Chains A and B, each alone.
Chain A
Amino acid sequence: MAAFASALGILPSPPASAYPQQRRLRSVKREQMQGCRSRRCSKVVSYYGLITPPYKLDALEPYMSKRTVELHWGKHHQNYVDGLNKQLATSMFYGYTLEELIKEGYNNGNPLPEYNNAAQVWNHHFFWESMQPESGGSPEGGVLQQIEKDFGSFTNFREEFICSALSLLGSGWVWLVLKREERKLSVVCTRNAISPLALGDIPIMNLDLWEHAYYLDYKDDRRMYVTNFIDHLVSWHTVTLRMMRGEAFVNLGEPNIPVA
């Protein structure tokens, strides 16, 4: 009765404690995990590992040098993984999936200590897979159609992507995301390690704009770096796969089936 009344807006919505079942499930899961851990003699612990990019480290030359990829993946990305694992040893987030960790750790704009490492691990993994040797150019089929629908033309999208990337002040990322509410593709910039996952959207492709991503190859010339990425490195194949998955969660309307 109270729930019905609150749905009509008559009463204020009940506090979280009114839904004990959800919270109980969460804490049971944690208790079970902790219980398991104390029952066994040999503790089984699981932490995050570093996934190798789906291409050789020199495959992105000449647009991203082997040296940059070696450092960026082998040192920066590795450090985020190691840092996260170190934090998880004593954190309540142990056992969470990376996506859960990012969403909870973001804490509505007041990120918890584990957030930065977790988000950067995810962001960089997403980044390596957003690229492909000898790629770039423009997409085809459904992705191109959606881009033309949401940006007007591929050229418009490309301009907006480059402009957005150059307008970011400081460190961060530029993303092509599928917005859940607006049900369209959009270019967004995020500062430092902020992830669109934490903001509720579906990431489709990203580009690292932290200086370590391009300084060795391009020095201060961010424009050249972004242009080379969008023209030669972005993997539209991966974008298509991610769009397909995204469409399972966001209704982009009826498909255009040609009539015979």
Chain B
Amino acid sequence: MALRTLISGKTLAAAALGGARTLAAARGVATVALPDLPYDYGALEPAISGEIMRLHHQKHHAAYVANYNKALEQLDAAVTKGDATTVVQLQSAIKFNGGGHINHSIFWKNLKPISEGGGESPHQKLGWAIDEDFGSFEALLKKMNAEGAALQGSGWVWLALDKEAKKLSVETTANQDPLVTKGVNLVPLLGIDVWEHAYYLQYKNVRPDYLSNIWKVINWKYAGEVYENAVA
């Protein structure tokens, strides 16, 4: 596993950020790091191209991490100084970049190469819950595809669990807003990035094609684990 990591080089970006992170940690600001992908960039082909995965991880997600850490440090300084104006001003950068980091970290775990079980339909508890709350697995897919395609601008489409009501639902969030902004009890089981950077190089303007193909590499096992932990 470690050898594969070195060869694919996907940890390069993370290593570069690691230096900056330890410096900030010494000052007491808990910064975040770019997580490694649990598979190679090309492993999700032909559903998502390796070029998209590489750019998405090394450029977009890395930028969210870097900007979030920067905003956190600025926030720390502003809070210490009692500079309320700056504290409030930083909120949109924190929401956007922090949300971007949270959402993408979930997204990488939501995907799995076909050879490792990606695309296999959910079983047991999650499977039954889907049948109960949506009628059928196909109905859920149809609903998520429709909502994802209809989303105007940039955002995410989620399979959400309301852990209080123990009910599943399909939600959308704009830009990089995390699912929790739609409801404090909502737990993200699956998120699909419908920002254009997530599919444009491969699918161009045909977002519906991207949505119908991404199901082939969705990691239902992970979603099932999150579900069972949340309802337990």
Whether B96 lies near A210 (C-beta < 8 A) is no
Q: Are A215 and B60 in contact (CB-based, < 8 A)? A: no
B28 contacts A by Cβ under 8 Å: no
Shortest CB distance B55–A (Å): 6
Chain B residues whose C-beta falls within 8 Å of the C-beta of A79 in the assembled complex = 205
- Contact residues of A between 142 and 180, Cβ < 8 Å to B: 169-172
**Is B59 in contact with A170, judged by CB distance below 8 angstroms?**
no
The answer to whether A210 touches B92, judged by C-beta atoms less than 8 angstroms apart, is no
Q: How many B residues, CB 8 Å from partner? A: 20
> Is the Cβ of A212 less than 8 Å from the Cβ of B59?
no
Question: In the assembled complex, how far is the CB of residue A212 from the closest CB belonging to chain B, in whole angstroms?
Answer: 5
A130 is an interface residue with CB less than 8 A from chain B: no
Alpha-carbon distance between A157 and B55 when the two chains are bound, in angstroms = 32
Does A220 contact B201, Cβ atoms closer than 8 Å?
no
B152 contacts partner chain A, Cβ-Cβ < 8 Å: yes
> Are A215 and B92 interface neighbours, CB within 8 A?
no
**Cα distance A168–B215 when bound, in Å?**
31
Q: Mark B130-160, 1 if CB is under 8 A from A, else 0.
A: 0000000000000000000000111000000
Known contacts A211-B195, A211-B200; A219/B153 CB under 8 A: no
Do B55 and A219 have beta carbons less than 8 Å apart? yes
Q: Is B196 an interface residue (CB 8 A)?
A: yes
Residues facing A in B86-105 (CB within 8 A) are 92-93, 96
B201 touches A215 (CB 8 A): yes
Most chain A CB within 10 A, of B93, B201, B204, is at B204
B interface footprint on A186-213 (CB within 8 Å = 1, 0 otherwise): 0000011100000000000000001110
CB-CB under 8 A for A169 and B204, given A211-B196, A215-B196? no
Chain A: minimal CB distance from B2 (Å)? 29
- B69-111 vs A, CB cutoff 8 Å, 1 = contact: the mask equals 0000000000000000000000011001000000000000000
Q: How far is the CB of B170 from chain A (nearest CB, A)?
A: 20
Min C-beta distance of A209 to chain B, whole Å: 11
Given known A-B contacts A169-B96, A220-B63, A212 and B154 have beta carbons under 8 A apart: no
With beta carbons under 8 angstroms apart, the residue of B63, B153, B205 that contacts A170 is B153
Residues of A within 8 Å of B205, CB to CB, are 71, 75-76, 79, 212
Interface centre among A71, A169, A192 (most CB of B within 10 A): A169
With A169-B92, A215-B201 in contact, do A210 and B63 touch (Cβ < 8 Å)? no
Interface presence of A235 (CB below 8 A): no
Contact A220 B153 (CB under 8 A): no
Closest to A170 in B: B175
Contact with B along A71-115 (1 / 0, CB 8 A): 100011001000000000000000000000000000000000000
A169 in contact with B175 (CB, 8 Å)? yes
* CB atoms of B200 and A212 under 8 A apart: yes
Q: How far is the CB of B200 from chain A (nearest CB, A)?
A: 5
C-alpha gap A219/B59 in the complex (Å): 9
Is B174's beta carbon under 8 Å from chain A?
yes
Q: Complex Cα distance A215/B204, Å? A: 10
**Which residue of chain B has the shortest Cβ distance to A67 in the bound complex?**
B204
Assess whether B197 is interfacial by the CB under 8 Å rule. yes
A215, chain B: closest CB distance, angstroms: 5
Min CB distance A229 to B, Å, is: 18
Q: A193-B153, A211-B197, A220-B60 are in contact. List 20 more A-B contacts (CB 8 A).
A: A71-B204, A75-B205, A76-B205, A169-B96, A169-B176, A170-B153, A171-B153, A171-B196, A172-B153, A192-B152, A210-B153, A210-B196, A212-B196, A212-B205, A215-B201, A219-B55, A219-B59, A219-B201, A220-B59, A220-B63
